[in-house]
Amino acid sequence: MEQEVHERSIDPATLAMLQKAKEEGVETAWERYEKQLPQCSFGQLGICCRNCNMGPCRIDPFGEEADKGICGATADIIVARNLLRSIAAGAAAHSDHARDSVLTFKKMSEGKAGSYKIKDTAKLLSLASEYGISSEGGSLEEVAAKLADILLLEFGKQDGHLLCTRRAPEPRLKLWAELGIEPRGIDREIVECMHRTHMGVDNNAVHILLQGLRTGLSDGWGGSMIATDIQDILFGTPQPRRSTVNLGVLSKDKVNVIVHGHEPILSEMIVEAAEDPELLELAKEKGAAGINVAGICCTGNETLMRHGTPIAGTFLQQELAVITGAVEAMVVDVQCVMPSLGELAGCYHTKFISTSSKADFPNTVRMEFHEDKAYETAKEIVRAAVENFPNRVPEKVTIPDEKQECMVGFSVEAILNALGGTPDPLIEAIKSGAIRGVGAVVGCNNVKVKHNYGHVNLVKELIKNNVLVVTTGCNAIACAEAGLLLPEASELAGDGLKAVCKALGIPPVLHMGSCVDISRILVLSSALANRLGVDISDLPAAGAAPEWMSEKAVSIGAYVVSSGVYTVLGTVPAVLGSQAVTSLLTEGLNDVVGASFAVEPDPIKAAGLMLEHIDGKREALGLITGKRKAMGLTSER
């Protein structure tokens, strides 16, 4: 049954472009989703297996037909193996991103990537000290080269633990060691996942899932953390700044270049090239008033938080940006890029430019990007966009009016700076009950969920109940589009949180960056736990991914829960075909790592689960000393 356009999103700009797409007869993710219905129920439950060529095998969830695969694998084994492979893929995506960042950093230190330089010297020296590198008597580039070499060893390490894990509280490190899930080399964990899930290797569901936790940890406390650190050194550690979001940031009279994907190595150069006097003059010659760079997804988050570059939208708005008819070039690198963009761009004048040696797409213009000539390539890409401007078809151009101001760039350093250099004021606000707890809300969009509905409503419910929210990825963009990333949004918060936000001049929802920057949330959590002398699992904190869809989100979930943070998922993972695996993930992990998952599609109910968990942790810490009303809480729970 075809879904009405108004049922697909809560965002007016998105609805306007969906209506335009319908009128112009172009297809989007929503139509492709409807064509898939009903989706394969065996796949949704996670009980189908293609791990060898005797299959595919599927398990009957009702036990009336096959209860084992051809090799004898049960539903428990198949579900666990499928989940482990998803974690491996997600960890690989984040960690390969990190490797490329470190390789660029190394080339920069050797003088082989002249377009890049060290922008945060303090962070370089701090990180070098953490890794035991002396900065005395050497240049910054020499220090950077030594640091790059050490970080590259983290990927292929065969013995010992990942060095970034030392940032975790001591009780958490001890627990990981006791469980045998302390992450080793990043690549080793990913390879071991693939080995274990090969036919005839690991066939114990619990044993399989423990490797999943270890692999997730190698992402969150390894690859993602390394990517965040190195990108801060190369491009600057984010500080609070203002910008604008949503499709209305596209310009009617300027050349519009969209950067989309996840790696800021290219987008940083695109932003710089767009200010090149030669290209600005060329734009005027072509009839444009200038060059406008806007982002989509996490590449957008990266440039947004460092430069204030406007962001055009979330994952599900990438096609809609092209449908405006106003985009001269959609420039992509890796991850979350829909292959549909090539065919769609052909319906308009947009050039779909792919730049990564790892990723090609149908109907693209290939302009491969290499660090040794980064700025030159970026100029070529922007030039191609500028020269495409005269091909814009005016009658096909419809740019929604919606654009929203936002405040972004809350790195750990920025948060601590706002608090006077230590987490103590935040801890005191939590102790007093002014802030009930912290909610980390992250993740993708998913066409199965009304666009932005899960993100926005869950976050609104949390801040209404005095929970300070930290956010990354597409959730951060959704919150920005809804006006929640502004200090003025504190009017939607409970009295306690509102007072804190007004005193500090901050929003009740803090934008901490892209999806790899969930590692910032881990660092902040460790700082709070260490200051309180407890483990992360003892904090009045909870996580959520209301509209998740990617394998990266599966890896994120694995490392967040393994770090001790209770996490609520808004879309159902493919594990329900195994009662044992489902029970372990939603209950049993509490006894293993001190946290577990819950699944709740209703964002209000999901927020209720998080509030209940936060209150339980407050009580365990002795922080609930009076009636809820004394804490300024609005919930009746």
Residue 332 lies in domain: 247-396
Residues 163 and 294 reside in one and the same domain: no
User: Which CATH number covers residue 211?
Assistant: 1.20.1270.30
Q: Report the CATH number at residue 446.
A: 3.40.50.2030
Pair 167, 22 in one domain: no
Q: Does residue 332 sit within a domain?
A: yes
Question: Across the chain, what does the average pLDDT equal?
Answer: 95
Considering the domain architecture, whether residues 377 and 455 belong to the same structural domain is answered as no
Beta strands 48-49 and 57-58, pairing class: antiparallel
Length of the chain: 637
- Give domain status of residue 321, yes or no: yes
478 and 606 together in one domain: yes
Residue at a domain's end among 235, 266, 291: 235
Is residue 353 scored above 80 in pLDDT? yes
Note the pLDDT tens digit of each residue in 431-478: 999 999 999 999 999 999 999 999 999 999 999 999 999 999 999 999
Do both 148 and 128 map to the same domain?
A: yes
Instruction: Identify whether residues 105 and 222 lie together within a single domain.
Output: yes
DSSP H or E stretch at residue 299: helix 297-307
Question: CB neighbours (10 Å) of residue 204?
Answer: 12
End of a domain among 184, 211, 235? 235
Listed residues 349, 366, 396: the one ending a domain: 396
Label residue 275 by pLDDT band (50, 70, 90): very high
65 pLDDT above the threshold of 80: no
CA separation for the pair 267, 295 (Å, rounded) = 9
Q: Are residues 165 and 279 in the same domain?
A: no
* Region 197-211 average pLDDT: 97
CA nearest neighbour of 209 among 81, 46, 88: 81
Res. 290: pLDDT tops 80 = yes
- 479-492 per-position pLDDT tens digit: 999 999 999 999 99
Measured on CA atoms in the order 34, 38, 43, 48, is the torsion positive or negative? Answer: negative
Write the single-letter amino acid at 422: T
Q: What is the pLDDT of residues 78-124, one digit of tens each?
A: 999 999 999 999 999 999 999 999 999 999 999 999 899 999 999 99
Bind-site residues for [4Fe-4S] cluster: 40, 48-49, 52, 57, 71
Q: Count up the domains in the chain and report the number.
A: 4
In a domain, 240, yes or no: no
What confidence category does residue 61 fall into, taking pLDDT thresholds of 50, 70 and 90?
A: confident
Q: If we measure between CA atoms, which residue out of 145, 148, 226 comes closest to residue 183? A: 226
The answer to the question of residue 64 being in a domain is no
Bridging pattern class, strands 509-511 and 467-471 = parallel
More confident residue, 66 or 112: 112
Residues annotated within the binding site are 40, 48-49, 52, 57, 71, 262, 298, 336, 444, 474, 515
Confidence band for 506, pLDDT divided at 50, 70 and 90: very high
pTM score of the predicted model: 0.95
Q: Which two tokens stand for residue 317?
A: 């708005």
Whether residue 374 is found in the same domain as residue 412: no
Give the model's pLDDT for residue 354: 97
pLDDT in tens, 543-556: 999 999 999 999 99
Q: What is the pLDDT of residue 395?
A: 96
Mean pLDDT of 561-573: 98
Residues 464, 558, single domain; the answer is yes
Same domain, 525 and 556: yes
Q: What is the pLDDT of residue 626?
A: 41
607 in the same domain as 510: yes
- Position 631 scores a pLDDT of 41
Q: Is residue 69 part of a domain?
A: no
Question: Would residue 472 count as lying in a domain?
Answer: yes
Q: What angle is formed at CA 608 by the lines to CA 605 and CA 609, rounded to 5 degrees?
A: 95
* Residue 70 falls inside a structural domain: no
Per the annotation, binding residues for [Ni-4Fe-4S] cluster are 262, 298, 336, 444, 474, 515
Q: Provide the pLDDT confidence category of residue 624 given band limits of 50, 70 and 90.
A: low
| Least confident range of 60-64, 83-87, 224-228, 612-616 | 60-64
pLDDT given for residue 137 in this prediction: 81
**Confidence grade of residue 635 (pLDDT, cut at 50, 70, 90):** very low
SS (H, E, C) 53-110: CCCCEECCCCCCCCCCCCCCCCHHHHHHHHHHHHHHHHHHHHHHHHHHHHHHHHHHHC
Within this chain, do residues 431 and 572 fall inside the same structural domain, yes or no?
Answer: yes
Q: What is the pLDDT of residues 116-156, one digit of tens each?
A: 999 999 999 999 999 999 988 889 999 999 999 999 999 99
Q: Is residue 67 part of a domain?
A: no
